[in-house]
Structure 1
């Protein structure tokens, strides 16, 4: 037992330091600023495109959305995962760890697929948003393995998921030209299924012995609601962050805004309806209220109209709440994991 503890003590520091050194070397070899973040490149771009003001730099259009997405990844998902009564510190800290490593690896892998020119990866503010999107998928998968794997295993999972995410994203967006502004397919669906697959692979019968620790208590649900509120508020930025400037970005934010609002009322209604004595279930409120933002993500740029977005949120609230009731209470496959 002592030897095992000693191994654990050195394993995580060794992996973190070696992988960070690898990131430094790879960034030094491959990564460079793109035209809008490089001194000479921006001056050249202004001359070629007859740009008269620095305010036309893509940074000023994208950075506010990037900050919102960044808060979602590190605060929103981090606190959303604190629902387990015995895993609050681990949820926030390990989410922090995987996200910090994931954004570095994502900048490299996504760069090789999307912005690789003359042997170099060109990065800018949109690359940062893309990296956060990629890590968002890992954060979703993290929810499926929460409390079941070690930090080292989590880093290994992040390494593989970021790589596979980038391949999947390249196939869908670049080869098949799928429209997925908010990443409903590339981020949320991929992350959910990846997490379930990892959970199934790592499942051990003795995990049943800790089943009593998998529930929530009052304060853990309260902290989890902090994450829900951050995600809920910033989801319009998430779905519109990489949309085209102008009407598409404007429309994506409005559609998401309306869908999320409708989803909350529907979720509360059906949560009360499906519970004994009409008491709200915090699992539904923490998760199903966000389904409107997820579902409308793919079509966020489209002409859904405001009432169309409300309908999407209404349907998502119903389906998500009923789904949570079914999978957490009735479905033996998911109860097993």
Structure 2
């Protein structure tokens, strides 16, 4: 029986093997095999259980906070359920869109997980080499800018590229924001690229996202309180539209395949429902613990208002009246608006 060789499968397998090797050599699970940490965790659990048996004062509302594990579940639902199902809105490419969104999301998760660690480590190695003659600790030098003072201080505390990467739950969550940016870009490319082209775009998109996030937030100190505004939503949309301009044919809006159908809309609205449920967690993860309650509340109110008013205004703007697509648009617009 002849073996069918597909360029996309071969390339994907090669990339996957390289990523597996990179993770196995360059990373380790933080706390794995550390008996002291395990004993400390067990003792903390025993102390907590003992405290629960005694009456304790109720904590203030701002003290409640979801642990990273809960955020990871919500982010998985948002990206791999919500966004992947939302991509099925086109009448002709729904099945392929769902499968490719899932596959490309997994690739972006792996690639972003490494790049979000490598870029700061490489920058740290550069800083250590640049300021090695100055010595630590660095004080505030009035003769140089505050920005350079901060870089010198960072060179004393950051980890260099020679160190192994300690992977935590939070690192996977941060990488999932890169997955969201990639899937947003993919939404502008449905039906326009083949799988091999899409894989190349995902690799480039993930690298650009990680570089943009590092430059805007980590290096220049920009404020993106929800971690999802200009580093995820705006970036993903701009990257996807740029790629779409390059690969689109003549008058793509007149293509008959650029339209939904009844069955595909059913799956897409299901994805919007998952996004509706998990959007508050998506927006509030990067917020300080004491502010997460307010970010989640504002996002939830924004989602409710977005659904109502998108449906109401569609009745006045569109001759055919409101449809389920307007609810989907309302959820997406309101969630992004809540991120501001």
TM-score range for the pair, normalised by the shorter chain length:
0.7 to 0.9
Is the CA contact (8 Å cut-off) linking 2:186 and 2:240 kept in structure 1?
A: yes
Matches within 5 A, 1:160-171: 160-171=204-215
Question: What is the Cα deviation at residue 208 of structure 1?
Answer: 5.1
Question: What is the Cα deviation at residue 92 of structure 1?
Answer: 0.5
Counterpart for residue 52 of structure 1: 44
| Partner Cα distance (1:242, 1:163) in 2 | 21
| Partner Cα distance (2:229, 2:195) in 1 | 27
Question: What is the Cα deviation at residue 209 of structure 1?
Answer: 11
Question: What is the Cα deviation at residue 177 of structure 1?
Answer: 2.0
| Partner Cα distance (1:41, 1:170) in 2 | 34
| Partner Cα distance (1:53, 1:228) in 2 | 38
1:109 and 2:105 matched:
no
| Larger Rg, first or second structure (1 or 2) | 2
**Structure 1: any 5+ residue segments left out of the alignment?**
1-5, 299-337
Call closer, same or farther: CA 1:236–1:131 in 2, change over 3 Å: same
Counterpart for residue 132 of structure 1: 176
Q: CA RMSD in A?
A: 2.6
1:195 and 2:240 matched:
yes
Give CA-to-partner distance per residue, 1:132-190, whole Å, 9 cap, x none: 11010000000000011011111111100111100100111112222321411100000
Residue 74 of structure 2 aligns to a residue in which SS? helix
Residue 122 of structure 1 aligns to a residue in which SS? strand
2:106 to 100, 104, 108: 100
Is the CA contact (8 Å cut-off) linking 2:90 and 2:258 kept in structure 1?
A: yes
Residue 6 of structure 2 aligns to a residue in which SS? helix
| Partner Cα distance (2:284, 2:16) in 1 | 31
Give CA-to-partner distance per residue, 1:283-302, whole Å, 9 cap, x none: 3221232212112214xxxx
Is the CA contact (8 Å cut-off) linking 1:72 and 1:230 kept in structure 2?
A: yes
Give CA-to-partner distance per residue, 1:27-81, whole Å, 9 cap, x none: 12211223xx43428729959xxx834999xx97111111111111111111101
Counterpart for residue 138 of structure 2: none
Structure with bigger RCO (C-alpha 8 Å, 6+ apart): 2
Call closer, same or farther: CA 1:68–1:17 in 2, change over 3 Å: same
| Partner Cα distance (1:82, 1:104) in 2 | 24
Give CA-to-partner distance per residue, 1:182-207, whole Å, 9 cap, x none: 411100000000000001112234x8
Counterpart for residue 331 of structure 2: 289
**Structure 2: any 5+ residue segments left out of the alignment?**
49-64, 122-158
Residue 28 of structure 2 aligns to a residue in which SS? strand
2:34 to 16, 40, 61: 40
Residues paired across the two proteins, number: 281
| Partner Cα distance (1:229, 1:242) in 2 | 23
TM-score, normalised on structure 2? 0.76
Counterpart for residue 20 of structure 1: 16
| Partner Cα distance (1:265, 1:42) in 2 | 53
Residue 77 of structure 2 aligns to a residue in which SS? helix
Is the CA contact (8 Å cut-off) linking 2:252 and 2:258 kept in structure 1?
A: no
Counterpart for residue 261 of structure 1: 304
| Partner Cα distance (1:54, 1:283) in 2 | 51
Call closer, same or farther: CA 1:231–1:200 in 2, change over 3 Å: same
Question: What is the Cα deviation at residue 210 of structure 1?
Answer: 8.4
| Partner Cα distance (1:55, 1:66) in 2 | 26
| Partner Cα distance (1:88, 1:45) in 2 | 50
Question: What is the Cα deviation at residue 272 of structure 1?
Answer: 1.2
Counterpart for residue 143 of structure 2: none
| Partner Cα distance (2:328, 2:303) in 1 | 13
